[in-house]
Amino acid sequence: MAKKNLALGRGLGAILSEVTQAYENNLSDNSELVVELDVDIIKPNPYQPRKHFVKDSVSELSQSIVEHGLLQPVLVYEGDDNDYVLIAGERRLRASKLAGLKTIRAIVVNVDTAKLREIALIENIQREDLNPIDLANSYKELIEDYKITHDELAKKIKKSRTQITNTLRLLNLSPKVQESLTEEKITQGHAKILITLNNSEQEIVLDSILGQKLSVRDTEFLVKKLKRPAQIEKKNFLKSGKTPVFNQRIVELKDILKNYLISSSFKDDQLVLYISDESKIDMLIKKLSSH
């Protein structure tokens, strides 16, 4: 089968158009853009924006490929050593290898290597199975690289501005919460609620979500309960008759406790600690006895 290179444009719109056209053109097995390549001569894309591949997801795709074949070819460009470099489709390549296939259908494109990251980003954000954190990072990189607004990106990739803004907000989650979302231990619904908390509070609630298998609704109730003492506490400070310096020191102490994932409240001249497990008690004793 003759091979035809597909040149990609320089701009974001041109790249989007070319990638879309490439996929539309290859739906027929007779397309001159599609070739069959040995899976072992395809190198991974060094600019792959997808950082996490769910094993079960790759396994399911592998089974689908065995039963129905590969529905969408991967995108590659020719390397320097009689090999090819993957632009987009790493999950499909992994699944094909897992299925024991020796070759894979591919579209070979002629592309400036400087544009590899942009193409990989765009190809990934158009896929429904990209996890929310990788998607948010892809949006962020496109906005920074092209110096465009949320509105402009929304028009380019045919998404709503609200969806882009809400997805980007997920990057405000603590690293631990982001990891849990990526690994599908929590849902995006949980994450949206946790965003309203600071990092320490997020991880306190995360422990409860994972340990008690809380639903999104349960989590929302827990967060409201967590915020309520803070509002009451402000009134308690005013009623306590203590000096502003004393009140500030209490706030500082509470912040230190939060760093150790220990929540607390101040009422009636008492600082109450809420400790959920023995390990935190041991940690607190160790910290206090070391001074």
Question: Please, what are the averages of pLDDT over each run of 10 residues along the chain (291 residues)?
Answer: 40 54 49 80 76 70 86 84 84 89 88 66 68 88 86 87 93 94 93 91 89 90 74 56 70 77 75 76 79 59
CA atoms within 13 A on the CB side of 112: 8
The pLDDT assigned to 193 comes to 94
Residues involved in catalysis: 90
CA 23 to mean position of chain CA atoms: 25
Is there a contact between 70 and 104 (Cβ–Cβ < 8 Å)? Answer: yes
Phi and psi, residue 2, nearest 5°: -70, 145
Helix (H, G, I), strand (E, B) or coil at 270: strand
pLDDT of residue 283: 80
**Segment holding 108, helix H or strand E:** strand 103-110
Q: How many CA atoms lie within 13 A of 205 on its CB side?
A: 30
- pTM for the whole thing? 0.56
Whether residue 203 contacts residue 177, with contact meaning beta carbons closer than 8 Å, is answered with yes
Pairing of strands 42-43, 84-88: parallel
pLDDT at 233: 56
Under 8 Å between Cβ of 123 and 50:
no
Q: What count of other Cβ atoms lies within 10 Å of the Cβ of residue 162?
A: 10
49 Cβ partners below 8 Å, 6+ apart? 117, 120, 121, 124, 134, 137, 138, 141
In whole angstroms, give the CA distance from residue 113 to residue 286: 54
Find the angle CA(248)-CA(250)-CA(255) to the nearest 5 degrees.
95
Asked whether 71 and 89 are in contact (CB, 8 A), the reply is no
pLDDT confidence of residue 6 = 40
Asked if 100 and 132 count as a contact pair (C-beta separation under 8 A), the reply is: no
Residues 6 or more apart whose Cβ sits within 8 Å of residue 6: 18, 22, 33, 107, 108, 109, 110
